Amino acid sequence: MKKVMFVCKKNSRRSQMAEGFARTLGKDKIGVSSSGLASSQVDPITVEVMKEIGIDISSQTSKPLSDFNPEDFDAVISLCGCGVNLPEAWVLRDIFEDWQLDAPEGHSIEKFREVQDQVKARVENLISVMTS
């Protein structure tokens, strides 16, 4: 089974959404993890907007990238433009993409929903590529 790592600065919003979508939409098809350049905590608004669409990410936690080994992953996706800050071994996986999605932090819940829609569409495409 191919494995994907979603990376963001704090692993609290965009990467948590991506992990939730990939776990749900890619169930039994791909392995999924998410992490941050630094760990923090999962934003409660992120948990709320995912719950609105039937995906429970309340048990997900924020983890530092340093807890993982790049060789364990086939795909690495940066969601915030932080790809330039990743160690080279992470960028050299079979699939590397830097999605550069807007940060919803400090914005209305509508912004969270907008980013969530963008994340879902990209995760659906990624699953298709990884499983074809």
Q: Is 80 a catalytic residue?
A: yes
Cβ count near 132 (within 10 Å): 5
Marked catalytic residue, from 17, 45, 79, 80: 80
What domains can you pick out in the chain, each with its CATH number? 2-130 (3.40.50.2300)
CB distance 113 to 58 below 8 Å: no
Closest CA to 105 of 22, 4, 8: 8
Return the pLDDT at 92.
Answer: 96
Phi/psi-derived region of residue 56, left when phi > 0, alpha when psi is between -120 and 50, beta in every other case: beta
Q: Quote the CA–CA distance of 104 and 112 in Å, as a whole number.
A: 5
Amino acid letter for position 26: G
Q: What is the pLDDT of residues 37-87, one digit of tens each?
A: 999 999 999 999 999 999 999 999 999 999 999 999 999 999 988 888 899
Q: Catalytic: which of 5, 7, 8, 127?
A: 8
Q: What is the pLDDT, as a whole number, of residue 125?
A: 98
